[in-house]
Amino acid sequence: MTDRQPVAARRPRHRPLSPLREHLREAFWFAPLLACLGAMALAVATSWLDTELVNEAFRVEGNAAGLISFAGAAKSVVSTVSSAMLTFIGVVFSISLVSLQMAASQFSPRVLRLYVRSRLTKATFSACLATFLFTLLVQLSYEDTTDPAQVTSVPVASTLVALLLVLLSLGLFVLYVQATLRLLRVPHVIDRVTGESLAVIAHYRWMAPEAGAPPAGPGEAVTLLHEGRSGVLRDIDVARLVRVARRHGTVLHLVPRIGDFVTPGTPTVRVAGGSPPRPRRIASALNIGVDRTMHQDLSFGFRQLVDIAIRALSPAVNDPTTAVQALDRIHQLLAMLVRYPFGELVCRDRDGVVRLVQPVPDWQRVVDLAFTEIRICGAGQPQVTRRLTAALDDLLRLTEEDRRPALLLQRELLARAVAEHVPDPENRAFALTPDRQGIG
């Protein structure tokens, strides 16, 4: 086997997700803006069709009078739609605000991003805004005259398009209410978070190094410091960093993990070999924000599930069943990760040369994140401890020998916590009995 064969086998079959695409999905303004621009273009097109329709009608005797009589009713319909859509937009906005408040109080502030990223929510707002703007522009083109000799346009096509937009808005509104009610139920929120976490795991899987072959360290390297605003490292532009490293003939070792908080002066990359690039080139590829995203953050999915579980276990809520539902999905994600090698992620250029090395949490960190807080908060809840015991026992069965110490430590600490909260031996034995449903 030649040296080039492993490199060829390691090259991904698809490119990393576009940061720009993910940022636009996080933004709520982009889809309504496109819808409003489309409504303006549609208004111009229908106005042209209405003019052509009148010109054709006047060539046929008797058609002009019918079109003019239709114009009055059409204007009334469009005017009613325009005024009603503004009220309709207010109703949709009110439902969204109430949903956000309930989600933040019941689940976790971190899950509000699900509502912002919802395609159906954006589509509903966009359709309502487009309908309102379209009908408003159509009314500006109305003619007050009823003299057939002076009529140049009758809103026939405009009225039909306005009615179609109304039907579209009503249909999307029904789907939007249904989707919002689903997202107010904790199983659906947990399922959405889990689905996004699985996508991140799949995205990172083909970038992970082979087992037993971790990438070489930076050795003697130049450390570049962060230049820019303070905030959370949300994601990085992998393609841009690889191009910069290739241009300078170097390897970039990213210092902070995705999700870390960075400030000016924080080390960002260690440059091994070649000539160091300008710090501003590195800073331009780092997306710094006020909160984390699921784009490249391997730990953020666990963070959201754990937050939902410990909020449910708080004395103010006292809902251990919700914590068990979160543990079900944490168990699912860890069961997938036991098959993947852990280590720094490697990104190669088109020639197969490693250009970017990115740190990710190791197995120990992931297990600690997944179980520690739930174990501490739920030690007095037998439903939680029984489900947690079942998850640990199942993962111990699935994992290789080198990954079992982290799980065995959690098992031991769980037994200590239960002994501290449950002094009765029989209740303690019951609390530590594995049960995938907790207590039925």
Sort strands 261-262 and 231-236 into parallel, antiparallel or unpaired.
antiparallel
Chain mean position to CA 64 = 54
CB 58 within 8 A of CB 276: no
**Is the pLDDT reported for residue 351 higher than 60?**
yes
Quick one: pLDDT at residue 335? 93
Which pLDDT belongs to residue 55? 64
* 188-225 confidence digits (pLDDT tens): 889 999 998 998 888 776 555 544 444 555 666 788 88
Task: Read off the pLDDT of residues 27-83 as tens digits, 9 standing for 90 and up.
Answer: 788 889 999 999 999 999 988 887 777 666 554 545 555 566 666 677 788 888 888
Calpha distance 319→333 (Å, rounded): 22
pLDDT interval class at 14 (50, 70, 90): very low
* pLDDT (mean) for 142-155: 60
pLDDT band at 255, cuts 50/70/90? very high
Query: What pLDDT was estimated at residue 5?
Result: 35
pLDDT one-digit tens code per residue, 152-193: 566 778 888 999 999 999 999 999 888 888 888 888 889 999
Work out the mean pLDDT of the chain and round it to a whole number. 83
Domain residue ranges of the chain, discontinuous segments joined by +: 19-184, 186-440
Q: Which of 147-161, 322-336, 358-372, 413-427 shows the lowest mean pLDDT across its residues?
A: 147-161
pLDDT tens-digit map of 104-133:
777 877 887 787 788 888 899 899 999 999
Cα–Cα distance between 224 and 217 in angstroms, integer?
16
Supply the pTM of this predicted model: 0.80
pLDDT score recorded for residue 148: 54
Find the largest Cα–Cα distance for the chain: 99
Helix (H, G, I), strand (E, B), or coil: what is residue 219? coil
So what's the pLDDT on residue 218? 61
**Residue 120: closest CA among 82, 174, 163, 75:** 174
- β-strands 267-272, 251-254 pairing: antiparallel
Q: What does the pLDDT read at residue 410?
A: 95
